């Protein structure tokens, strides 16, 4: 039984890493393709407020319904650019996907004007045990989000999100340090988060 569970965990981890490697490869292809098309609209300096990621919204990277899965979620607003067929931000059920997709968009010439992520210092989160994983709760209301640069990120902890190991944001440094002390891992600042980092988690 234990061997079967370990094998299942290895398959899940392999699938997650393969998915992230695929996203990173797509980002590289996008970077070499360049950005052709209509002239961009004038840059917007102040991002709109975050939106709810409830109501059946599905992740723009993997298609999973965001509110149905644990872990941090995020949304990215771009200047003069929206996801196909809708206004507003691109949205994700994991920050690993958000970082890779946002980096790819920048390489294609897009300009992010606002990135928001779940703020675990602002919500009453829970950690539950499921199939051997410790999964942190999801929070999708607009007031559960903080601007990307205002958070410190716990990484390499024993707690996972929708796609496995993830970045866990906290707007309060003391709360972030307490989380790492309890759950392991380390803290990184927003400007230290790269696609290489999230692919290695």
- In this structure, are residues 58 and 65 in contact, taking their beta carbons and an 8 Å threshold? yes
Query: Would you state the pLDDT for residue 84?
Result: 77
Structure confidence by residue, pLDDT tens digits, 165-193: 999 999 999 999 999 999 999 999 999 99
- Burial of 191 from C-beta contacts in 10 A (0-12 / 13-18 / 19+): exposed
Q: Bigger pLDDT: 32 or 20?
A: 20
pTM of this structure: 0.79
Query: Would you state the pLDDT for residue 34?
Result: 43
Q: Give kind and range of the element (H or E) at residue 22.
A: helix 2-33
The alpha carbon of 162 is separated from its chain's Cα centroid by a whole number of angstroms, namely 9
Asked if the model's pLDDT at residue 51 lies above 50, the reply is yes
Strands (E), 14-166: 74-78, 90-92, 112-118, 127-130, 133-136, 145-147, 152-155, 160-161, 164-165
pLDDT (average), residues 56-82? 95
Q: Give kind and range of the element (H or E) at residue 107.
A: helix 95-107
Asked if the model's pLDDT at residue 70 lies above 60, the reply is yes
pLDDT (average), residues 143-149? 98
């Amino acid at each position: 039984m234990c061997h079967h569970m370990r094998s299942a965990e290895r398959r899940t981890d392999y699938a997650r890493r393969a998915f992230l490697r695929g996203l990173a490869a797509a980002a590289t292809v996008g970077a070499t393709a360049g950005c052709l098309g209509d002239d961009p609209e004038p840059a917007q300096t102040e991002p709109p407020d975050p939106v709810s990621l409830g109501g059946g919204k599905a992740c723009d990277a993997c298609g999973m319904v965001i509110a149905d899965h644990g872990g941090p979620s995020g949304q990215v607003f771009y200047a003069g650019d929206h996801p196909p067929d809708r206004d507003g931000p691109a949205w994700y059920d994991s920050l690993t996907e958000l970082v890779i997709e946002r980096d790819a968009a920048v390489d294609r010439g897009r300009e992010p004007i606002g990135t928001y992520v779940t703020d675990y210092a602002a919500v009453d989160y829970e950690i539950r045990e499921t199939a051997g994983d410790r999964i942190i709760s999801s929070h999708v209301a607009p007031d559960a989000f903080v601007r990307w640069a205002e958070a410190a990120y716990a990484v390499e902890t024993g707690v996972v999100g929708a796609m496995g190991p993830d970045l866990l944001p906290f707007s309060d440094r003391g709360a972030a340090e307490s989380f790492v002390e309890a759950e392991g891992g380390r803290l990184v600042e927003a400007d230290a988060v790269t696609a290489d980092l999230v692919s290695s988690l």
